[in-house]
Amino acid sequence: MRFGDDQMLRTHHHHKSLEQFTNIESIPFATINVHLIPHTHDDVGWLKTLDEYFYGSSNDIQNAQVQYVLDTVIVELEKDPSKHFIYVEVAFFIRWWREQTKEKQDSVRRLVASGQLEFINGGWCMNDEAAPYYEDIIDQMTLGHQFLKETFNVTVEIGWHIDPFGHSSTHASLFSQMGFNAFFFARIDYQDKDYRLDNKTMEMIWNPPQASGEEHSIFTSINYYHYEAPPSFCFDQNCNDQPIMDDPRLEEYNLDERAKTFVTYFKNMALHYRHADLLHTMGSDFQYSNAFKYFKNVDKLIKHINNHPEWGVNLFYSTPSNYIRTINRQSITYPVKTDDFWPYADGPHAYWTGYFVSRVAIKGIVKETGRFLQSVRTLFAFVQIQEKADYALELQEDMKKSILKLEEAMGVLQHHDAIAGTSKQAVAGDYMYIITKALKKVQNVNFFFLVRTF
């Protein structure tokens, strides 16, 4: 679990994905095409609060600042049309968006329209899959998707749950019925992952029994190396990996060695997949707050490796949607899965199931508030019907604003470190403050309406 003070508690066991294979010459592909996915995973609260993460305060707890991620990533995308980036958490993005000038907003719209900036998952947060009620999951996804549709006229098509602690067939059913074309995630039982690597079943068709039939199945892909960059190739400002030193006149020149290590890594990866197109993340928690540094180093690798076609690896920036379009053009047979990816263990005797019942106060208030929210929405619909009543017209705007605030608070609380109960204590307290503040506002407006009505 992740209850301690150390970031290292977010452990990952990658097992055979890190082994050095000796038979990479046996790869049945002349050229491997590697879709590099620049991304940041921005928890809507975990070791720090939502506000602390956005502004970059309390960096003695964790060096993380979401506003600078978006600031610097957008600048790099504007400079180079070959670059791509994906973003997930609308709860953070909408805060950043509201602070931008019209000129910057227009630029971002162009990046979204061109496909350089792609919204993945698109919910208010990346919700947990075990603790939330299905209706609250749908609400938080709707909240984010409505903003993206109204602001950019985009329809999100990819599910991206790279950090939740296990995955349910019910959630696969929900994503399929939301119209998603694919579902990507990282955390599965370590023994299951070893088996899938050995048998080339890291990708599958998930056909959940909750909504059976081909129309409700969803292509599912498990990340090869959690959601990180390949080992020793993290170029974020918080990483200690060596930069790419490409001037041969200098003593510490390392471009050839680094490039060949990168190539070998992907040839090893190709042994576990059924086609020559590989998807790999380049990023991690709150990374790219200095996007220039990250992109500059990856640029050097891409250029050097692609200038050596005899190595058999072709690299380029991409997105999950581009990857799906590419493999859909190929005739590939995938295994079928119907059940859950639970329980999740990342090592022997290390099951992440305690969070099913941890911090029951948070779980309880989220469940009760969710049902209260549905009741208030019904009441609001009744208010809107009473068009001729002056009091109803007066209350409509207040009710609309208060309901939206409660929806946003509920959206935050579905996060996989919120309702899950896996945040630090100060963050758990902030979660309770966020939801009770929004709840009190709705209750006050609701009270005035009932007084005027009855």
Q: What is the pLDDT of residues 348-385, one digit of tens each?
A: 999 999 999 999 999 999 999 999 999 988 888 877 77
Q: Is residue 134 part of a domain?
A: no
Same domain as 331, residue 389: no
What distance, in Å, lies between the first and last C-alpha atoms of the chain?
Answer: 50
Same domain as 319, residue 363: no
Residue 20 pLDDT level (bands cut at 50, 70, 90): very low
Tokens describing residue 144: 């984010």
pLDDT given at position 10: 42
Q: What pLDDT digit, counting tens, does each position of 280-322 carry?
A: 999 999 999 999 999 999 999 999 999 999 999 999 999 999 9
Q: Is residue 43 part of a domain?
A: yes
pLDDT at 124 over 90: yes
Q: What pLDDT digit, counting tens, does each position of 146-158 carry?
A: 999 999 999 999 9
448, 383 Cβ separation under 8 angstroms: no
Same domain as 278, residue 221: yes
Q: Is residue 435 part of a domain?
A: yes
pLDDT given at position 5: 36
pLDDT given at position 2: 37
Higher-confidence position of 448 and 174: 174
Q: Is residue 400 part of a domain?
A: yes
Strand order in the sheet with 182-185: 158-161, 182-185, 218-222, 203-206, 336-337
Same domain as 383, residue 243: no
pLDDT given at position 235: 98
Which of 337, 368, 403 is the last residue before a domain boundary? 337
Q: Is residue 15 part of a domain?
A: no
pLDDT given at position 454: 52
In the predicted model, what is the mean pLDDT of residues 96-116?
98
Same domain as 422, residue 278: no
For the chain, what is the mean pLDDT? 91
Same domain as 205, residue 93: yes
For 73, list phi and psi in degrees, rounded to 5.
Answer: -65, -45
Q: Is residue 142 part of a domain?
A: no
Q: How many CB atoms lie within 10 A of CB 69?
A: 26
For 149, list phi and psi in degrees, rounded to 5.
Answer: -70, -45
Which residue do the tokens 């992740």 mark? 2
pLDDT given at position 13: 41
Same domain as 275, residue 196: yes
Tokens describing residue 421: 């109960």
pLDDT given at position 321: 97
Same domain as 333, residue 394: no
CA angle 26, 29, 34 (to 5 degrees): 115
Same domain as 363, residue 283: no
pLDDT given at position 388: 58
pLDDT given at position 450: 59
Percent of the chain at pLDDT exceeding 90 = 83
439, 407 Cβ separation under 8 angstroms: no
Q: What angle separates helix 390-413 from helix 360-385, to the nearest 10 degrees?
A: 150
Q: Is residue 26 part of a domain?
A: no
Which of 289, 307, 337 is the last residue before a domain boundary? 337
Q: What pLDDT digit, counting tens, does each position of 255-279 carry?
A: 999 999 999 999 999 999 999 999 9
Spatial separation of the C-alpha atoms in residues 362 and 413, rounded to whole Å: 8
CA distances from 411 to 90, 135, 417 (A): 10, 11, 12
pLDDT at 23 over 70: no
Q: What pLDDT digit, counting tens, does each position of 334-352 carry?
A: 999 999 999 999 999 999 9
Spatial separation of the C-alpha atoms in residues 199 and 337, rounded to whole Å: 14
pLDDT at 451 over 90: no
Q: What pLDDT digit, counting tens, does each position of 166-216 carry?
A: 999 999 999 999 999 999 999 999 999 999 999 999 999 999 988 766 778
Same domain as 381, residue 321: no
Same domain as 302, residue 227: yes
Name the residue among 88, 110, 38, 71 with its Cα closest to residue 319: 38
Domain residues for the domain of 389 are 358-453
pLDDT given at position 386: 65
Q: Is residue 11 part of a domain?
A: no
Same domain as 321, residue 202: yes
For 138-142, the CB contacts below 8 A with 24+ separation are 138/174, 139/370, 139/373, 139/407, 139/410, 139/411, 140/410, 140/411, 140/414, 141/178
CATH number at 167 reads: 3.20.110.10
Spatial separation of the C-alpha atoms in residues 113 and 443, rounded to whole Å: 41
Residues with catalytic function: 163
pLDDT given at position 328: 95
For 169, list phi and psi in degrees, rounded to 5.
Answer: -65, -30
Strand order in the sheet with 313-317: 277-282, 32-38, 313-317
CATH number at 399 reads: 1.20.1270.50
Higher-confidence position of 97 and 25: 97
Which of 282, 307, 337 is the last residue before a domain boundary? 337
Structural domains of the chain, count = 2
